[in-house]
Structure 1
Amino acid sequence: MSRELLLLVGFAVTNRAVCVQLVERGRPVVAADDAPDDHARRLAAELGVDLLERPSPEDWPSLVAGVQAVVPTPGLPESHPSLGAAAAAGTPVISEFDLAQRWDDRPTLAVTGTNGKTTVTLLAAAMLEASGIPVTVAGNTETPLVEAIRDSRPSAFVVEASSFRLAHSRCYRPTVGAWLNFAPDHLDVHASLDSYRAAKAALWSRVDEKTISVVNRDDPVVVEYAPDRGRVVTFGLDDGDFRASGGALWVGSEKLADVAELHRPHPHELANCLAAAAVAMAGGAHADGARAALLAWTGLPHRMVLVGERDGVRFFDDSKATTPHAVCAAVRSVGQSPGQAVLIAGGRNKGLDLRPLAEAADQLRSVVAIGEAAPEVQQVFAGLCPVVVVESMEEAVSAAAETSLEGDAVLLSPGCASFDWYGSYAERGDHFSRLVREMIGGSP
């Protein structure tokens, strides 16, 4: 193969955008996909690009030999034979972030972390826009960064930086890089927890004197990896350049907002607000813009959304919580006192150890276990609180309602992916919410 050729492994949203850009720039490219759909085939034909379907493990050494670089689709498991073949051949593996930075020199503000990435990315973008700085959100969203740079309007990009992209970035260096938190996740993609941690840490692996790193003072893993070069900005609930104190959010000695003014005052939401302000102001936002966005922010769907209340019991949709770390934070935020939460948890495990869920046990009245991981959930809470295993979301809502008492909170916070019963966490949350609303509407 030609030394100028780039090999795209996987031909879904991101690599399709990469392919379009490469073709427009006159670069030779070939794509390979283990299970291409009709859209992939049509696009490849329209672009005049060869699409190799379902290569066998034995095919990969010859495919990667001689190409300039391999561009894996985000989320390609580290065990995929293409990556092993590339390593054996000494062929570089790069990300869409690398390509975007080569093609566009506008600033990027990158946000990574196990939980809260989307919230912080969107809220930081709102703060920048409120400060008169046009930005576009890209990365681990509907718009890959290589697609976003086609737009001449933004003066900067706020990038949701997943471990999937960071792990394969060889030269990407964001202008601002924020690491929110770290907890086990995506072990169905990464070879180990160490590999996942290293992927996150790659965000700061190329900092220089011009970059700004945003560090969560409350997370020991993040603090351990904090850069010793460039400018470092910290945030934390009790301490940091951006902090919560005396019922308000502060940057230095300047108040950004009173907590009572915010729509989402849960502790982990406050941490997200502080992180977003740190990112946005590092990127040029002013305090007034940050405050305006904070006061307008009502949160995102399926993230601690109050669906309704019946007989003094509140029902929350937190379907986006797909790690034990996120579940424990959610349970702590809704429990008015110990033992006043009913947790609906389970789904398809992402290769994670679910035992940390037990940290929430003292806040729970009971647990309703759902999906493929129901036996694991049941085992985690055995002897700690009552657990009932159900076979559908209808049964889950009914069981949670029957178990709960006045003053309780029922929380769909699964700690697992949705792909056993649903096509996405949004579909799962929508079904739960619809069932709750039907139950409330049908009650006397």
Structure 2
Amino acid sequence: MRLVVLGGGESGIGTAILGKKKGYDVFISDGGTIKNNYKEVLALNKLSFEEGLHTEDLILNADVVMKSPGIPEKSDIVKKILKKGIPIISEIEFANQFNDVETIGITGSNGKTTTTMLTHHLLKQGGLNMGLAGNIGKSFAWQVAEHKVEGYVLELSSFQLDGVVKYAPHIAVITNISPDHLDRYDYKYENYIAAKFRITMNQTEDDYLVYDADDEAISNWLGENKVKAKLIPFSLSGKTKKGVYVKDDTIISNIKKVKFTMPINELSLEGKHNVKNAMAAISVAQLKNIRKKTIMESLSNFQGVEHRLEKVLKIQNVEYVNDSKATNTNSTYYALDSMTGPTVWIVGGVDKGNDYNELMPLVREKVKAIICLGVDNAKIINAFNNVVDVMVETTSMAEAVKAAQKLSEKGDTVLLSPACASFDLFESYEDRGKQFKAAVQNL
């Protein structure tokens, strides 16, 4: 069996290693450049690859193709593979056929990394030996090839779910759905929503779907489509008394007839969105029979996720907050919503079809100055020109942070929450966040 792997990143390398171990004839093809550390792994494992091009003769003879999530369906080579009738699957689908332990799959437009890491933390503290993979850390395929665990907590993007055929998590979580990546879904929101719900399409009556009952897109979809899995809702608004809900500033869970309560102010993570992330994690922990005391302790000592509302430093009584992971307006909405004082907001990058109107009330209420950080800031300037008094354009992180320091005073917060992808000026949102932290430390 010939396995062709498109893309020599984390998921591609993991798939290649697992494929070779399972007896496939493996070839990796990357249209760009493969990082040196991955090339070393390929050499060590005696895997053949190419970079900077796609040689059709070496690709179109595949029995199966694993496409990395970053490669769009519209790319020429993908079209040619599909035309030949060769199946294209995701790394999750490929690895899952060799995985014999259960998985917990977590998706959503925002909060999925925090929810995934928090869920993993709860289960680990509860004594379960769980792998952590998907859109995070070492790839699922790599771990299936190299490790033995009791189960996996997987963070799954819509791109990863697009390539799923038979994969079904035992517990699926959908944190929320808001418009994102619409450029990959023909600018149709319903296509993106359908991609997220692929997480439950192969689930059975013995499986669970945990979801935000307050989320309009989720509620509408569930109203129009049948799901086999048992439904476990969570709600901040008191819409449901099933699953997990909030009453009198206390989280209450009735899952599996074991009542769990925890005051919101005892959570280590701040902000309404993090209450929801905690409710999703509690749902999973209770389904996995983790002790109540362990759940409470884990929720109060969890450290949070880098680049997600991460407090960097306080300088001259100005708080600097790194929220570089906010790559869409919905994510930035949560960040602005959790600001308590006047805010200097650093925003901008590669716009993925953003509608800034939803941020207007929060910007009017909380933002005293906007610093644009991107190659093209026209859309941001047009949106907020009449809303804030001060707008500055910058093209480097050091320049943006210096401008923020000049514009901020005692009691303010400087918030990097770009609402955009990072690829115009940075390698990734991680690179953007690290540059922000370095620039703040240099002040």
SS in 1 for 2:93: helix
Task: Give CA-to-partner distance per residue, 1:323-349, whole Å, 9 cap, x none.
Answer: 11111111011134xxx2221111233
Q: Which amino acid aligns with 2:321?
A: F
Provide the C-alpha distance between the structure 2 equivalents of 1:411 and 1:283, rounded to a whole number of angstroms. Answer: 37
What is the RMSD of the two structures over their aligned residues, measured on CA atoms? 2.5
Residue 223 of structure 1 is aligned with which of 215, 219, 233?
219
Alignment length (residue pairs): 430
Task: Give CA-to-partner distance per residue, 1:298-333, whole Å, 9 cap, x none.
Answer: 212221122333455432221111111111111011
In the alignment, is the contact (CA less than 8 A) between 2:375 and 2:395 conserved in 1? no
Greater mean alpha carbon deviation, residues 196-205 or residues 138-147? 196-205
In the alignment, is the contact (CA less than 8 A) between 1:77 and 1:188 conserved in 2? no
Provide the C-alpha distance between the structure 2 equivalents of 1:283 and 1:68, rounded to a whole number of angstroms. Answer: 38
Task: Give CA-to-partner distance per residue, 1:190-223, whole Å, 9 cap, x none.
Answer: 5434443332121112221111001111211122
Residue number in structure 1 paired with 2:49: 51
Provide the C-alpha distance between the structure 1 equivalents of 2:435 and 2:155, rounded to a whole number of angstroms. Answer: 27
Question: Does residue 1:423 correspond to 2:427, yes or no?
Answer: yes
Q: Percent identity?
A: 27
Provide the C-alpha distance between the structure 2 equivalents of 1:280 and 1:231, rounded to a whole number of angstroms. Answer: 16
Residue 272 of structure 2 is aligned with which of 258, 267, 277?
267
Q: CA shift at 1:55, angstroms?
A: 4.3
Task: Give CA-to-partner distance per residue, 1:76-110, whole Å, 9 cap, x none.
Answer: 12211232223322222111212222112211001
SS in 2 for 1:225: helix
In the alignment, is the contact (CA less than 8 A) between 1:7 and 1:67 conserved in 2? yes
Provide the C-alpha distance between the structure 1 equivalents of 2:318 and 2:33, rounded to a whole number of angstroms. Answer: 46
SS in 2 for 1:228: coil
Residue 15 of structure 2 is aligned with which of 15, 18, 29?
18
Name the CA shift for 1:94/1:378 in 2 (closer, same or farther; >3 Å).
same
Provide the C-alpha distance between the structure 2 equivalents of 1:243 and 1:299, rounded to a whole number of angstroms. Answer: 22
Q: Which amino acid aligns with 1:51?
A: F
Which structure 1 segments of 5+ residues have no match? 440-444
Greater mean alpha carbon deviation, residues 90-99 or residues 220-229? 220-229
In the alignment, is the contact (CA less than 8 A) between 1:9 and 1:82 conserved in 2? no
Q: Which amino acid aligns with 1:245?
A: K
Q: Which amino acid aligns with 2:201?
A: S
Residue 410 of structure 1 is aligned with which of 396, 407, 414?
414
Q: After TM superposition, where is structure 1 displaced by more than 6 Å over at least 4 residues in a row?
A: none
Residue number in structure 1 paired with 2:162: 167
Name the CA shift for 1:54/1:400 in 2 (closer, same or farther; >3 Å).
closer
Q: Tell me the TM-score normalized by structure 2.
A: 0.89
Name the CA shift for 1:431/1:47 in 2 (closer, same or farther; >3 Å).
closer
Q: Tell me the TM-score normalized by structure 1.
A: 0.88
Residue number in structure 1 paired with 2:339: 334
Residue number in structure 2 paired with 1:358: 360
Residue 373 of structure 2 is aligned with which of 346, 370, 378?
370
Residue number in structure 1 paired with 2:2: 5
In the alignment, is the contact (CA less than 8 A) between 1:76 and 1:189 conserved in 2? no
Name the CA shift for 1:294/1:362 in 2 (closer, same or farther; >3 Å).
same
Aligned 1:18-97 pairs, distance under 5 A: 18-37=15-34, 43-44=41-42, 47-55=45-53, 60=56, 65=60, 67-97=62-92
Aligned 1:126-145 pairs, distance under 5 A: 126-145=121-140
Task: Give CA-to-partner distance per residue, 1:262-284, whole Å, 9 cap, x none.
Answer: 22221111111111111232234
SS in 2 for 1:82: helix
Q: CA shift at 1:54, angstroms?
A: 4.3
Name the CA shift for 1:432/1:21 in 2 (closer, same or farther; >3 Å).
closer
Greater mean alpha carbon deviation, residues 344-353 or residues 370-379? 344-353
Q: CA shift at 1:112, angstroms?
A: 0.5
Residue number in structure 2 paired with 1:102: 97
In the alignment, is the contact (CA less than 8 A) between 2:104 and 2:154 conserved in 1? yes
Provide the C-alpha distance between the structure 2 equivalents of 1:48 and 1:434, rounded to a whole number of angstroms. Answer: 38
Greater mean alpha carbon deviation, residues 277-286 or residues 109-118? 277-286
Provide the C-alpha distance between the structure 2 equivalents of 1:48 and 1:431, rounded to a whole number of angstroms. Answer: 36
Residue number in structure 2 paired with 1:385: 388
